[in-house]
Chains A and B, each alone.
Chain A
Amino acid sequence: MDYESTNNISNKYDLVIEAGKSKSHYWKNIWRYHELFVFFAWRDILVRYKQTVFGISWSIVRPLLSMIVFSIIFGRIAKLPSDGIAYPVLVYAAMLPWTFFATSLMAISNSLIGNANLISKIYFPRIIIPTSTIIVSLVDFLISFVIYIILMIIYKVQISWHIVTLPLFLFLTILSVIGLGLLIAAMNVKYRDFKYIVPFIIQLGMYISPVGFSSNIIPEKWRLLYSINPMVGIIDGFRWALLGGHVKIYLPGLLISIILMVIFCITGIKYFRSTEQNFADVI
């Protein structure tokens, strides 16, 4: 069978689906579906709080409680050093990015499986599903941030210009979630083990990452290795941005985290794109 060249056809037809080739105009296509992205996020947020009595207050209660528990255990009982800042504030500053990371990673990993019925019946760029779940966690983040501001007032923490860099660190967190998340979500479709692996990693991660303590207590010779955990760089960054000059930032560590995150992000997106066409068959 003799086809005209695909280039020729792309000019005449709006859409060409061909075996073995990725669809034309991938990113332009995603923009066409931006409303769907918003709707998925809206749906997830609504569903979260339907039929709950306490509703939104859960976003506040969770980080607050963790902060209290960690402050008592690591601050009072273990008496870990806190670089001259009130321990609760130290912990909460780390809880902000960590909670965001943990909840969005959990949500992303299961997002594709949870929407299996949509994937097998309707077409839309599959990348919309995992990325829209981040919005819900972002909303939680913003609410927790308001609580943080209250905490800062209570503990009389001084703000410095560092706080301007906060959006940058948030962006880095989002990047790492997207990278890791897309990778895991795509693999989860075929190998359902990740449903169990992810919560476990997050649980471990909460203790390995400097959430309940400052990363300054890690001895110098291990610091670089420790920074391979991307959340180390991010949490340090958040603390540096929010707590002014009290916390020194460990630059090599931060650089490693950034490089790793960018690598993860690119790998994640690439892997997702290469496997997304088969989701409907495998899910």
Chain B
Amino acid sequence: MIQLPCPWCGPRNVSEFRYAGEGGSRPDPATTTAQQWRRYLYMHRNPLGWTKENWYHGSGCRKYFSLERHTETHEIRTPEPQVEETSTSENAGESSVAQEAVEAR
């Protein structure tokens, strides 16, 4: 089981979280057309590699947060602008190694 670094609770098993996808900017419901709205609902990127995505810590602090995950290796790294971390130092160490490995490829 992979672990995700919740910025508030620290590293926890992925089974505590709900995957919320990449998200994106929501069109204004008052002015959008049906086609645009459906694009927003259905059309998402499906990258092989690093992706920035949102997770919901349903069995913990019940807050949303973002992280970067490699969709093939499941390596995790926290995106640049992030809440001050204290408890995720171990994961951060791993992810920087992982990042180098991926960049070297």
Question: Do A and B actually bind?
Answer: no
> B residues touching A (Cβ–Cβ < 8 Å)?
none
